[in-house]
Structure 1
């Protein structure tokens, strides 16, 4: 559960005690927007930033582990037929690419000009960290983020508001009792657009949040 300093920060940001709060993330990468739409929104980043240790791990993986695996498999690969492999690979790549670029595939409604799409275009401009804190006050929904690349949802107390909506402008849609680790909810905006969020952190906060919005 979020520690007291997180609760204090939430109270300061909202000006009142939060009714419920939860750290969450987008379930999938942001789809690639049309160039003109991205340009009009300021050409902000569409991918999260990563901690430097991740880059070190990537270097080790690609320059040490991958060559070792390739050397070990080379003899077997040379002796196997590749009939049908190329076509299968292309079809799989097309399928994955289609899913990754399908705006309705568990990210948002697909219209970049509406509220959810505009929020996505600026998602990582507010913070390179993928986590966002969604807080419910008595009369509004507040989305906040920590400016740090790496943070803990239980202790981060430097988050700030990146978007705020009255209940006339947005509402949260979710079901209570969802399996931990698979729970999702949607921000549904007055213009009909929606944004889906998942990877809810801190089980107690997540359960309380889902119970609150489902009543």
Structure 2
């Protein structure tokens, strides 16, 4: 921080890869004003840990096993509204980044960034800035977005696709999005057609191939 703001910033790291957790721990522990207060390997665990530990910052992997960044960000901020969420990702062109920022994330950092740059992003975000790493650029999500546009996949259909990837059932998706079950079923059928898939498994595989999940 600086002489006027010497307080310790408490950080929760949410990532399902042990080597990333180890690397981030080593990097941040070299910074006197940063303290890692906990770890989480799923979105659900991150949300629970944030409620319990009340960190200042969550360094959040964009793709956790049970949810993507937008849902995890929304859940974290529901538990701790003053929390600063920084997306930490190996996929700087992922279409979910835009949705996570819309959900309230305050920063984006790629996983191969230098330690000093990571610390600087944390410092700026804690200071109230919104920071997207320079190499993401204004059109950083252009390729995945183009894949959505080329297939004619709408924002609502993409929201449903993300929830399918999280393992949610049609009733769960309907409840989460305020839709009827029949409406969700209709959206899913359109998604299958647009992705050229026969079922959910094929749809998710195709979406991964296109880089939109």
**TM-score range relative to shorter protein:** under 0.3
TM-score by length of 1: 0.23
* Structure holding more strand per residue: 1
TM-score by length of 2: 0.23
Specify the structure having the higher radius of gyration (Cα).
Answer: 1
